[in-house]
Amino acid sequence: MSDTTQSGPVLAADGTPLKRSLARALRMQKLRALMLIAPLLIFILLAFIFPIADMLFRSVENRIVADTLPETVVTLKDWDPMSGESPDEAVYESLYYDLFVAAEAKEHTKLGTRLNYEHTGISSLFRSSGRKVDDIGKADVKAIQRSGDGELKNGALWYEIMSGGSSAAGDTDLLDGERTKLAQLTGEKFSGDIGFVPGAEISKLFPRTAIAYTDFALFTAVVDGDIVAEEKPWETVYVAFATEVSTDGGAANLASYTGPGADALKAAAAAIADLPPISFKEAFLDIDKDWGNVGNWRTIQTYSPEYTTGYFLNSVDLHLGADGVEARPENQQIYITLFKRTMIMSLMITGSCILLGYPVAWILANLPTRSANLLMILVLLPFWTSLLVRTSAWKVMLQQQGVINDVLVWLGLVADDARLVMINNQFGTIVAMTHILLPFMILPMYSVMQTINPTYLRAAKSLGATNWTAFWRVYFPQSVPGIGAGSILVFILSIGYYITPEIVGGTKGVFISNRIAYHISSSLNWGLAAALGSILLAVVLLLYWAYDKIVGIDNVKLG
């Protein structure tokens, strides 16, 4: 028997608490609503948000240096660029092994391009060095190959030495480490069985040689799809062995080595004993004297971290100099100028759209429907014409031998040799863009003005207001939401405009988007383009926020 005055929760018909039951019903409704918008949501996420986020992420991402030269970045850390001297032998040695692998993977030129954005000349330095890096230590390579019975010329014995024979313990840590390194370098997966595991003994005695051989093995098996034991090892393997065995510890290690191919290795060591030790620094300076350039090394060092502020600094005319952040040389400063110009000109375009659009919208809203519709088509007609056609039409109109100048000369208002310059400057951009963006201003204004009741104006006038007072005090305030909506549309569209300024803007009438486009499609400096784009996006959001604070976004109406 239930008590009507019970203090417990109200129950639904099926006995569950009403609150929960209601929540469930609502949840079902919400879920259904969500399912309805899901296609759009997923579409926007996949086609818009993710790509943009990915693009913006490039403005700080800088993994390419550490991925391509993993060891060099580490050894270079201790080098002091202020010393004015190029780094020591150890750095060049790391560079040799890194560059060799990178050149095999054809990744070194990408890094060259990347670093060339920061320091002129690195691009060709990497390209030419990548071609010649396999010549380093050539004498030692040849001597080892010729030593003994020439067995070390081929892959089979090397395979046996490096794997330590079929029953030997393997060093899987080393193998996995190299897998990760190569995967980061190439972006490919280096997983799976490659038919080779470096032997634990050899990798302890000659670690560098084991690493070089493992890289070779991974590359041969995964990238080329060949069998490791059948292929001749890379030059790095010979060079690594030659350097390691010529140290004091190396000779002792070799003496203690009893695994497969011990005799061949000893013969090889004897063959290179008379050769001068390999100097990687000299070898690199031989390839290109720019490897001794402190500026190049400082650039590599500065841009070794995985994330960089470099692109953002570049996009505000700064750069990472020797003493931290400093201004770019004056003859390279351009982005701040362009950002300012983009803002100012977009404001001017918005302003002229308001001035031209307001009367048109007013007439549209106050004409009888029939004539309003006709006028509306006139407003929309240019809207339906291709953007390029409209821009090119302005070229015909505005140029010095163009329609307007011809008419002015014909009327005698302008002398033939003093024709007006109305294109390839800011004026041209403002005129053409005002024309193109005008419908975006007129349409929101029109739809807001349509909702303004004409009786208010009549009432104001009947109370003694002049035409102007009636307009300014009664009509205009009610039309402000339309102006706000139109202005936001026009302003945001215009700061991102690209094609019109490119065609009619000349040099003084181009926007920041023209530089972004240049960096995306011509210089391929996507990081800088992303940084410029991020700043533009941040500025728009900031202005939107400011607008909300000052005018209030609730005051914006599209109709």
Partner 1 sequence: MKLRKLSALVATTALCAPMAFAADMADEMTIVSWGGAYSNSQNKAYHEPYAEKTGVKIINDESSNEAVAKMRAMNEAGNITWDVVDVVASDAIRLCDEGLAMEIDADEMLAPAPDGTSASEDFGDLLVSDCFIPQIVYSTTFGYRTDLVGDTPPTSVCDIFDLEAYPGKRALEKRPINNMEWALICDGVAKDDVYDVLATPEGQEQALAKLDTIKDSVIWWSAGADTPQLLADGEVVMGSTYNGRLFSLIEEQDQPVAMLWDAQVFDLDGWIIPAGLSDERKARAMDYIYFATDTQRLADQAKYISYGPARASSAPLVGKHAELGIEMAPHMPTDPANATNTFLYNYEFWADYRDDIDAKFQAWLAK
Give least dist CB 522 to partner 1, A. 8
User: Whose Cβ is closer to partner 1: residue 479's or residue 514's?
Assistant: 514
All residues at 6 or more sequence positions from 300 whose CB lies less than 8 Å from its CB, including other chains: 65, 69, 72, 73, 76, 115
Of 105-144, binders to partner 1 (CB under 8 A) are: 106-107, 109-110, 112-113, 116-117, 120-124, 127
Give least dist CB 457 to partner 1, A. 48
Give least dist CB 229 to partner 1, A. 17
User: Whose Cβ is closer to partner 1: residue 93's or residue 215's?
Assistant: 215
User: Whose Cβ is closer to partner 1: residue 258's or residue 331's?
Assistant: 331
Distance CA 137, CA 270 (A): 16
User: Whose Cβ is closer to partner 1: residue 304's or residue 399's?
Assistant: 399
Give least dist CB 46 to partner 1, A. 13
Give least dist CB 441 to partner 1, A. 29
User: Whose Cβ is closer to partner 1: residue 163's or residue 525's?
Assistant: 525
Sort 362 into a burial class: Cβ within 10 Å, 0-12 / 13-18 / 19+.
middle
User: Whose Cβ is closer to partner 1: residue 517's or residue 543's?
Assistant: 517
Give least dist CB 526 to partner 1, A. 8
Distance CA 217, CA 223 (A): 10
User: Whose Cβ is closer to partner 1: residue 56's or residue 90's?
Assistant: 56
Sort 138 into a burial class: Cβ within 10 Å, 0-12 / 13-18 / 19+.
middle
C-alpha of 60 from chain center:
8
Give least dist CB 193 to partner 1, A. 15
Give least dist CB 121 to partner 1, A. 5
All residues at 6 or more sequence positions from 282 whose CB lies less than 8 Å from its CB, including other chains: none
Give 130-181 as a DSSP string: HHHGGGTTHHHHHHHHHSTTSGGGSHHHHHHHHHTSTTSPB-HHHHHHHHHH
Q: Is 524 in the site for partner 1 (CB under 8 A)?
A: yes
Q: Is 424 in the site for partner 1 (CB under 8 A)?
A: yes
**CB distance 437 to 349 below 8 Å:** yes
Of 386-405, binders to partner 1 (CB under 8 A) are: 399-402
Report the largest interatomic distance among the alpha carbons of the chain, rounded to a whole angstrom: 117
Give least dist CB 67 to partner 1, A. 14
Q: Is 508 in the site for partner 1 (CB under 8 A)?
A: yes
Of 277-336, binders to partner 1 (CB under 8 A) are: 331-334
User: Whose Cβ is closer to partner 1: residue 462's or residue 521's?
Assistant: 521
C-alpha of 193 from chain center:
35
Give least dist CB 517 to partner 1, A. 10
Alpha-carbon distances, residue 31 vs 18, 37, 38, 71, 468 (angstroms):
20, 10, 10, 53, 53
User: Whose Cβ is closer to partner 1: residue 499's or residue 539's?
Assistant: 499
Q: How many CA atoms lie within 13 A of 127 on its CB side?
A: 8
- Which one of 194, 504, 515, 530 is in contact with partner 1 (CB under 8 A)? 515
For residue 318, which phi and psi values (nearest 5 degrees)?
-115, 170
Distance CA 277, CA 377 (A): 84
Site map 455..494 versus partner 1, x via CB under 8 A: ----------------------------------------
Q: With contacts defined by CB under 8 A, how many residues of the chain interact with partner 1? A: 37
Distance CA 140, CA 239 (A): 7
Look up residue 382 and give its DSSP letter.
G
Q: Is 338 in the site for partner 1 (CB under 8 A)?
A: yes
Give 531-543 as a DSSP string: HHHHHHHHHHHHH
Helix (H) or strand (E) holding 319: strand 318-321
Residues lying near partner 1 in the complex (CB under 8 A) are found at 106-107, 109-110, 112-113, 116-117, 120-124, 127, 331-334, 337-338, 399-402, 424, 502, 506-508, 510, 515, 520-525
